[in-house]
Structure 1
Amino acid sequence: MATQSLSRKDFIKNASMMLSSGMLAVDNDNLWQDLDEAQASKLTLKNVRLETGFEYEEGEVVTTKTELFTIEITDGKISAVLPNQPTTKAIDAKGLLMLPAFRDMHIHLDKTYYGGSWKARSKKNRTVKDMIAFEQKVIPELLKTSTYRAEKLIELLQSRGSNFARSHVNIDSTSKLDSLYHLQQALQNKKDSFGAELVAFPQHGLFYTESAQWMKEAAKTNIDFIGGLDPTSIDGSIQKSLDFVVQLAIEHQKGIDIHLHEGGEAGLKAVEFLIDRVNEHPVLKGKTYLSHCFVLARLEKPKLEEMADKLAHAKIGVVSTIPFGNTIMPIPTLYQYGVEVMTGNDSIIDHWNTFGTGSVLYKANLMAQLYGYSSELELSRCLKLATRNVLPLDEHGNRQWPKANDKADVVLVEASCSAEAVARVSPIKSLIHQGKVVY
C-alpha cells in the first residue's frame, strides 16, 4: 500500500472535518493540540462545567451549584446546551468551567515594550507633559516594531482569556496616523482570533501639540471612538477641547472615550461639561465614556452620589483600571446608581507603566479585595468586570448564560465556579473566539 504524507495544514483540516462529524475525540492533556487553527463550522464539547444555581444557608449564598453539559457550537454561535453526553465523540473539556470570554476595555496596543527585551519605566518622567515630551522622542523608534509588538500583546491577552479589546491609539503630530495604520495591520493579521474597537487618542493634546488636524483625518477612518485628554491641564480649555471631541464624534457618528486624570475643580467641571453636552445630544448616550476619571475618587459622599446619578442618567460609562494606593475609585457607588463600569489593563510594560499582567480576571480579583467582596455571591458578581457585564447566573441563581444563539466567545477555566475563578485568578486553559479555538 502506498504511503501518503500530510502537511500540518492538511492534518488540521482533516482533523477539523472529523471533529465536525463527531469522528474524533481529543483526550490529550493539551485539549486543543493541533486544533488551534481548525476552521470547523461546528464544534462539540462534552464534560463542560456550567453554573446552575446557588445553595443557601440561613438566607446566604454559600455554594454555587454546577453540572456537566455538552455544548454544540455552530457557525460561531452556541447552537445547543445539552445534558452531558460523556460517551459521545467530542472534545473533552474534562470538567473545566466555561465562562464568557473576557474583554479588555482600556488598553494601548499600539505602544509597548512587550515582545522585546525587558525595560522598566524611567524615573525621570512623572507628569503627563513630561511623558508627552518623552513620547515625541521615542515614538519614531517604537513605530519600527509596533505591529509585531501589538500582535504579541494580543497573544498575551488571549492567553489570559480575552478575545476582545478597546484600544486607544496615538493620533499626534509625531506619529500622525502611523500608529493607527500599524495597529490596524496587527488587528488584520489577528482578525480570525481577536476582536477590537479603536479610540483615536490625542495623547499629546488636541491643541497643546496641534494634533486636531490629525484627529479629523483619523475620524474619517473606521475607528469607533473619538478620544480626548485632560482638557484643562493639557489643552487649556474645557470648552474648546471637549466641544471639539463632541462635534467630531457627532459629525462622524462615533462614540467618545476621554482620558480624564484631572482632579479637583478642573476634573469636576470637565465631567459636568461632558454630561451637559451628552444630554444636549442624546445620540451620544450609551456611547460616551470617561476613562480613569480620578476626580470621582476624591469627592465627598453627597457630591459623589449626585455625579453618579447624573452619569447614569446621561448613560456615560466609567472605564477604570482599578487603581489602588491613594486613588480608590468609588466603584460600589457607581454600581449602586447604575453607571456602566468597565476595566482594562491600560499600559502593559511600556514607558508609562512597568507592570501589567494582561489579565482582566485579575482586575476583578483586585476589585473584590479593594471593596471587601469576599462572600460567594459577591465574588460571583465581580466576574462581570472581566466579561463586560455578562454573568452565568443572575442575582437569584437562575442560569442566564450560555443559551442558544449566544456568541461562541468562551473561556475554559480551572475553577469550580465564578467565585473561585475571581478569588484565585484561576488559570485559563482555553479560549474560543467566534466558535474557533484560538488558545
Structure 2
Amino acid sequence: MNRKEFLHLTTAGAGGFFISGTKWANVKDDEVKTVTADTKEFVLVNARLEEGFIYNDNGQVKATQTGLYDLYINEGKIVALKPALGATYDGAIFDAKGKLVLPGLRDMHIHIDKTFYGESWHAEPIRGKTVKDMIDLERRILPDLLLHSTAKAEQAIELMNQKGTYFARCQTNIEPTSGLKSLENLQKALANKKDFMQAEIVAFPQHGILYSDSEGILREAAQMGVDYIGGLDPTTVDGDMKKSLDVMFQIALDYNKGVDIHLHEGKATGLAAIEYMIATVRANKPLQGKTFISHGFALGQLETKDAEALSDQLAEVGIGVISTVPIGKLNMPIPTFYKHNVSLMTGTDSIIDHWSPFGSCDMLEKAKLTAELYGWRDEFTLSRALQIATKDQLTPLTAEGKQVWPLPGQEATFIVVDASCSAEAVARTPKREAVFNRGKLVHSV
C-alpha cells in the first residue's frame, strides 16, 4: 500500500482516529524497508495506543483500554492513523511490535553546559556548605570545563535521547569567569544536534547578578538568542532582594525575554522574594505567562493554607514553578500546584557535576519519583503522573478518559516502550525502545 492508498482508505472517526473496514495482509519481514534517522516518510505499524479508561462499578478507573494502530508519518507530522489490521505497505516501516507509544519527554531544567558526563567516574568534589562556597569552587573549575563543554553537551544530548527526551530548557552560566563562552559552546552543541534535540536557553547568572556584577554580560547574552533571563537567590547571594529582582526583570523587559530564576532560599527570605515577583509580574503584562521560579524551596515550607493562597496568586499572574522534585526533608506542594492551576514543569537538573552525582537524565524516572512521593499508586493517578515527564499536561487521555493524543496534524514526536499503558510506564520505567523527534528516529535499541 502506498501513501495515496493509505490516505484514501482511511476516514475520520470519533476522537480523531482513522478507521477502515478493509482487511489487510500481514507485513512481510523480508520486504520491510528499514526506517533510519534520514527517513522522512514511513508507517509506524502495530503501535499500542491508549483509547480510554475502564471503570469499576463505583465509577473508579480500574484499567486503561488500548488498541493497536498504524500511523502514517511524513515530514515530521502524524498524517493519519487507523487500526492495525496487518496491512502491507510499499514504503518504509517501523514495527512497534505491539509496544506502547507515548508522547516524547521534556526536561525543563537541566545544566549540560558544565557537566562531568563523558569523563571517567568520580564523585563530586568536596563541596562547600553554602551557595557562595560553590560559586568559589566554580570559579576554579570552570576554565577547564569550558575546554570540552561543547562535546560534553553533545554527549549529554545523546543520553537524553536514549531516555526519551527530545526537548530541554538548558540553563547556561553567564558570569565573569565563563564570559559568554559557556553560552557559545552550548549553542554550538545544540546546532550540531538540532535534529535530535529541541531546546530553550536560560541565561543564568550562577554567581549572582549583583554578587558577580553580571548585569552587563547578561545584557550581552540577551542579544545572542537566549529565551529567558535568569537570576539567583536575590537576598542570600546578591544581598539586595529588590535591586537584584529589578535588574533581572528589567533585562527581560528590555529584550522581550521570559524569566526563569533559581530560588533556593527558604521561607525566611524566599517568601518575600516570591511575593515581590508576583507584584512585579502583575504590574508588567509582558512578563505574565513567561515567568518561572525554579526550585522555589520556600514554597515547600509553607503551611497548607498559605501554600494554597500563594498558589492562587501565582496562577492569577501566570508565574510557573519548575521543580526537580527534591526528596528528603523538603517535599514541594506539587498536588497543591495542580489543584490551583499553577503551571508546573519539572527537570532533572544535571547528569553528574560538582553539584550532584545522582542525575539520570530520565524524565520518566522523575515521574515515578513524584508518584512515589505523593502516593499516586492507582491506575488513574499513575496515568496522570506522566505529565510530570511531558510538560504542559500532555497525556494520551484527559482526566475524563478522552483520547487526545496522538491525532493527525500533531508533531510526530514520541517514544516506544514495553508497557501496557502509561500507568505501567510510570511505575516500571521501562527501557525506551525507540525515540522519534519530529518524525526523525533519534534512538533505537
How high is the TM-score relative to the length of structure 1?
0.92
The answer on whether the counterparts of 1:106 and 1:168 sit within 8 Å (CA) in structure 2 is yes
2:28 and 2:221 mapped to 1: Cα distance?
A: 46
Superimposed CA distance per residue, residues 6-53 of structure 1 (whole angstroms, 9 cap, x where no aligned partner): xxxxxxxxxxxx99999xx7959xx997x4422x33121110000001
Q: How much does 1:86 deviate?
A: 1.7
Equivalent residue, structure 2, for 1:308: 311
The answer on whether the counterparts of 2:411 and 2:438 sit within 8 Å (CA) in structure 1 is yes
1:67 and 1:396 mapped to 2: Cα distance?
A: 18
Equivalent residue, structure 1, for 2:72: 72
Structure 2 portions without partners, runs of 5+: 7-26
1:322 and 1:120 mapped to 2: Cα distance?
A: 22
Q: Secondary structure at the match of 1:438?
A: strand
Equivalent residue, structure 1, for 2:332: 329
2:79 and 2:312 mapped to 1: Cα distance?
A: 39
Pair 1:54-2:47 in alignment: no
Aligned ranges for residues 15-414 of structure 1 at < 5 Å? 27=29, 35-38=35-38, 40-57=39-56, 58-89=58-89, 90-388=93-391, 389-414=393-418
The answer on whether the counterparts of 1:171 and 1:177 sit within 8 Å (CA) in structure 2 is yes
The code of the aligned residue for 1:72 comes to Y
Superimposed CA distance per residue, residues 174-213 of structure 1 (whole angstroms, 9 cap, x where no aligned partner): 0000000000000010011111000000000011111111
The answer on whether the counterparts of 1:69 and 1:81 sit within 8 Å (CA) in structure 2 is yes
Q: Secondary structure at the match of 2:259?
A: strand
Q: How much does 1:287 deviate?
A: 0.8
The answer on whether the counterparts of 1:79 and 1:405 sit within 8 Å (CA) in structure 2 is yes
2:269 and 2:327 mapped to 1: Cα distance?
A: 22
Q: Secondary structure at the match of 1:122?
A: coil
Q: Secondary structure at the match of 1:373?
A: coil
1:357 and 1:415 mapped to 2: Cα distance?
A: 20
The answer on whether the counterparts of 1:321 and 1:346 sit within 8 Å (CA) in structure 2 is yes
Superimposed CA distance per residue, residues 78-129 of structure 1 (whole angstroms, 9 cap, x where no aligned partner): 1112121423233211011111100000000101000111121123423110
2:387 and 2:307 mapped to 1: Cα distance?
A: 23
Q: Would the alpha carbon gap of residues 129 and 59 (structure 1) be closer, same or farther in structure 2, given more than 3 Å must change?
A: same
1:425 and 1:311 mapped to 2: Cα distance?
A: 32
The answer on whether the counterparts of 2:127 and 2:134 sit within 8 Å (CA) in structure 1 is no
2:266 and 2:167 mapped to 1: Cα distance?
A: 30
Equivalent residue, structure 1, for 2:429: 425
The answer on whether the counterparts of 2:267 and 2:297 sit within 8 Å (CA) in structure 1 is no
Equivalent residue, structure 1, for 2:14: none
Q: Secondary structure at the match of 1:291?
A: strand
1:88 and 1:184 mapped to 2: Cα distance?
A: 43
2:367 and 2:209 mapped to 1: Cα distance?
A: 33
The code of the aligned residue for 1:204 comes to H
Q: How much does 1:348 deviate?
A: 1.4
The answer on whether the counterparts of 2:350 and 2:361 sit within 8 Å (CA) in structure 1 is no
The answer on whether the counterparts of 2:267 and 2:299 sit within 8 Å (CA) in structure 1 is no
The answer on whether the counterparts of 1:69 and 1:83 sit within 8 Å (CA) in structure 2 is yes
Superimposed CA distance per residue, residues 307-356 of structure 1 (whole angstroms, 9 cap, x where no aligned partner): 11100101111000110101100100111000011111102110011111
Q: Secondary structure at the match of 1:117?
A: coil
The code of the aligned residue for 1:59 comes to G
Q: Secondary structure at the match of 1:88?
A: coil
1:36 and 1:223 mapped to 2: Cα distance?
A: 32
The answer on whether the counterparts of 1:140 and 1:175 sit within 8 Å (CA) in structure 2 is yes
Equivalent residue, structure 2, for 1:10: none
Structure 1 portions without partners, runs of 5+: 1-17
The answer on whether the counterparts of 1:26 and 1:91 sit within 8 Å (CA) in structure 2 is no
Q: What RMSD over aligned residues (CA atoms) do the two structures have, in Å?
A: 1.8
Q: How much does 1:237 deviate?
A: 1.0
